[in-house]
Amino acid sequence: MTAQAKSIRSPRDTLISAFSSSISRGYNSVHKRVRFFSFLLLTTIVLTALSVSGEGTRTWEQNKYDDFSKGTTHGVAISSNGFLLLAPAFKLLATTPSSAVWATSVAPNGDVYLATGAPAHVYRVTGRQPVAIFQPQELQVQALVVDKHGVIYAATNPDGKVYRLERTSSAQAGDAPAPKGQEARAESQQSTSEAGWKSSVYFDPATKYIWALALDDAGNLYVATGDHGEIFRITPSGEHSVFFKSDEPHIRVLAFDKQGNLIAGSDGSGLVYRITPKGEGFVLYSTPKREITSLAIDDSGNIYAAAAGEKRSSDNNNHGNVTIVVPNPNPNAGGPAGNPNSGQSSEPPVTLNSSGSAVPGGSEIYRISPDGSPSRIWSSRDDLVYSLAFDSRGRLLAGTGNRGQIYQISGREDYVELIKAGANQVTALVKAPTGGLYVSTSNLGKLFLLSGTPDAEGSYESDVSDARVFSKWGRAEFRGKGNVELFARSGNVDNPDRNWSAWKKIDLQRDAEIPAPPARFIQWKAILQPGDVSPQVDSVVVNYLPKNVTPEFDDIVVSVGTRYQSPPRPANLDPGQRFEAQPIVTRDRLSIGVKWNVRDDNDDQMIYSIYYRGDGQSRWLLLKGNLGEKFYSFDASLLPDGGYTLKVVASDAPSHSPQDALSSERESERFEVDTTPPQVLDLKASVQANLLRVQFRAVDGFSPIKRAEYSVDAGEWHFVEPVGGLSDSKAESYDFTVPLTGEAVMQEHVVVVRAYDRFDNMNSAKTVVPAR
């Protein structure tokens, strides 16, 4: 998307309004009219010169979050307060063959394990190439935890189970033995891609979904499930039981507070529960959203809950779909996760594909204080929060989709867009043993390391600004601090990759002239490097001068019998703000309206003049000058009857010095003016036998006679045809009779006739027939 240049205009006097008095009808002769219009022309030139103020230099400024978010970042973060700063180092560690990484866990020895879907695997990451250690039959591995002995617990979906994964050879010291009392069933023993691992079913909840796993300090495993909204607890000895039963369809996420209470978030009504070690639940907060997507608890006991989706009244009874499952590599395929051969239930979970909108209703993050009071601290209509975590300084981070962004959230609507991960969803954030956070993504399934320290260098490329016309670049105005270098380049196509100029450094220590060649499009780049003062970009302003181009007419339309009136100017307009008035149109037979459309690529303030010329005349005479609107009406009687053409001249003089102003003109189609009614001549009427005979002529000086009518003794008007029946001449003769009956033959009669020309000008005449 191309940014539009902002035009910062210098103050100028308001254009002096056009003359409001109508031209007197007393100017009958062409000579007097020419002298009057010449006076108007001279006065208009003076008034226009007084109102001119130069506004050629334009500026394009970027200093807000919305401005900066349109650009491209590489190691640069964007603050909601409107500045750029160095982002933490962000390094790719591994790329998996799977589309989604849903959970990440770190073993005591530092090994990293990933739970993935499409295809479903558990990977062990020790280098750039992750190694699969578990491949279940289910569609995805949804949750993953590692206990203090290095034993892995992996939960699968849908209709899944909890698997226990452990080494079979080269056992590490401290590895836990298999749980007592539990048969070492190899029912679901899977072939693996790495030797030395075995898998067995640890727990089968006999429910459709397993959403989350959590381990307490005593080694108890908690399993959050869907369909019945249950949380199971499995002791280290393998005994399992329902720990908590909610009235929600799904328990989606789990976390422990410092008191050992289990914090759980639901899907259905978006509830946040606090569940004591005895299994006693209490709703801490009913969010305005449908689903809790992630939880995080800080050292002070504040609970942060991310929620998404529109809450509906029927959600409490909805035991089918949930908002977030695995991203769909093939959105057109059927079944869960786009698997056309899936034999799962007829109510598959909703698939979030990589190109669709995140979720209806957007996403929000709430903070629940230790005293239980909730508050909203962040919201987005476009981003869906998948994961929450804290960085090494205790600041809240949120991993989102579908733009793969990580936000650092400091307070209510106070945040920093830290990273764009190069994937569609950031689905897991986990603390790394060496500092920083492991970041897992989906679409594509990757693992990154987000450092706790700034990157060695960051760069930011602005959006492309379209000056709309060929322009000369002036100075750059920079506001910021620290070690920041500024560059610029330009081109004449909107894609910088298509033969633009090379990046050239702007010397901010001297004149800050932009070294890019004149062109239509421009872009700037900032390089940020660490130093004694953290680098920061607050604002960049590009000054430029567009080449003045001639305004162009699209059309000019003359409407005879139309009057245009200006609407009232809105009261809330800022001084100098333009108002593109649309005329109020009324029908007026004695008016002539003219309206035109003009384009000016410089977006200059325009001024218009209207000229007229009659048939057979060579000179254009000024009708009206100094017009700021694109329409005008005048009294048709100002012009003698005849054919005319109008010419509109458009000038950008108010926006330029006299030597640089440009103008263009356009002529209208020919139109005719006729305000003089026809004459009714030689009217005669007489009674002959029992008939009233009427004779007259209608003559017009310019247009043919349109129709004639008569009335006898103040009766109704009746249409009458001319002699010959065809009315197509400037002079028509009429001769007709009206039958009389009874005493009417002897009585006096009053005959009135009237005639209309093509422009509906009318004249009438009357005669009296004496009684016999």
If asked whether residues 610 and 687 sit together in one domain, one would say: no
Secondary structure string (H, E, C) spanning 549-616:
CCCEEEEEEEEEEEEEECCCCCCCCCCCCCCCCCCEEEEEEEEEEEEEEEECCCCCCCEEEEEEEECC
Phi-psi map region of 642: left, alpha, beta (phi>0 left; psi -120 to 50 alpha): left
Given this model, what pLDDT does residue 571 score? 76
Residue 344 in domain: no
CA angle at 655 for the pair 652 and 660, rounded to the nearest 5°? 70
Q: Which residue, of 454, 472, 493, is where some domain finishes?
A: 454
Q: Are 304 and 366 in contact (CB under 8 A)?
A: yes
Task: Give residue-wise pLDDT tens across range 508-535.
Answer: 999 999 999 999 999 999 999 999 999 9
H/E stretch holding 41 reads helix 30-51
**Rounded distance between C-alpha atoms, residue 757 and residue 548, angstroms:** 49
Given this model, what pLDDT does residue 570 score? 78
Q: Side chain identity at 366, as an amino acid letter?
A: Y
Given this model, what pLDDT does residue 575 score? 67
If asked whether residues 465 and 480 sit together in one domain, one would say: yes
pLDDT band at 358 (very low <50, low <70, confident <90, very high): very low
The enclosing domain of 408 has a CATH number of 2.130.10.10
If asked whether residues 46 and 18 sit together in one domain, one would say: yes
Average pLDDT over residues 405-433: 93
Average pLDDT over residues 378-397: 94
If asked whether residues 316 and 404 sit together in one domain, one would say: yes
**Residue 434 pLDDT exceeds 60:** yes
Q: Which residue, of 673, 689, 706, is where some domain finishes?
A: 673
Residue 179 in domain: no
Residue 1 in domain: no
If asked whether residues 410 and 461 sit together in one domain, one would say: no
If asked whether residues 316 and 383 sit together in one domain, one would say: yes
User: At which residue do the structure tokens 């019998």 appear?
Assistant: 561
If asked whether residues 527 and 669 sit together in one domain, one would say: no
Q: Are 610 and 594 in contact (CB under 8 A)?
A: yes
Q: Are 273 and 212 in contact (CB under 8 A)?
A: no
Residue 2 in domain: no
H/E stretch holding 290 reads strand 289-297
**Residue 449 pLDDT exceeds 90:** yes
Average pLDDT over residues 667-689: 94
Given this model, what pLDDT does residue 577 score? 67
Q: Are 271 and 286 in contact (CB under 8 A)?
A: yes
Average pLDDT over residues 499-509: 96
* Residue 473 β-bridge partners: 544
Given this model, what pLDDT does residue 324 score? 47
| Per-state percent for the chain, helix, strand, coil, to nearest 5 | 5, 50, 45
3-state secondary structure (DSSP) of residue 243: strand
Dihedral of the CA atoms 112, 116, 122, 126 (nearest 10)? -30
**Residue 54 pLDDT exceeds 60:** no
If asked whether residues 512 and 566 sit together in one domain, one would say: no
* Predicted structure pTM score: 0.70
The enclosing domain of 487 has a CATH number of 2.60.120
If asked whether residues 145 and 249 sit together in one domain, one would say: yes
Q: Are 431 and 437 in contact (CB under 8 A)?
A: yes
Label the pairing between strands 425-431 and 437-442: antiparallel
**Residue 744 pLDDT exceeds 90:** no
Q: Are 242 and 248 in contact (CB under 8 A)?
A: no
CA atoms within 13 A on the CB side of 587: 0
The enclosing domain of 720 has a CATH number of 2.60.40.650
Q: Which residue, of 627, 657, 673, is where some domain finishes?
A: 673
Residue 497 in domain: yes
Name the average pLDDT for the chain.
84
Given this model, what pLDDT does residue 43 score? 35
3-state secondary structure (DSSP) of residue 498: coil
Q: How many domains does the chain have?
A: 4
Residue 536 in domain: yes
**Residue 341 pLDDT exceeds 60:** no
**Rounded distance between C-alpha atoms, residue 580 and residue 753, angstroms:** 49
Residue 101 in domain: yes
Structural domain harbouring 517: 59-87+457-546
Residue 182 in domain: no
Higher-confidence residue of 245 and 657: namely 245
If asked whether residues 381 and 254 sit together in one domain, one would say: yes
The enclosing domain of 20 has a CATH number of 2.60.40.10
Residue from 234, 225, 179 nearest 206 by CA: 225
pLDDT band at 753 (very low <50, low <70, confident <90, very high): very high
**Residue 200 pLDDT exceeds 50:** yes
If asked whether residues 575 and 693 sit together in one domain, one would say: no
> How many CB atoms are closer than 10 A to CB 312?
12
- Counts of helices then strands in the chain (DSSP H, E): 2, 56
pLDDT band at 169 (very low <50, low <70, confident <90, very high): low
pLDDT band at 329 (very low <50, low <70, confident <90, very high): very low
**Residue 35 pLDDT exceeds 70:** no
Average pLDDT over residues 409-425: 91
If asked whether residues 366 and 240 sit together in one domain, one would say: yes
**Residue 334 pLDDT exceeds 80:** no
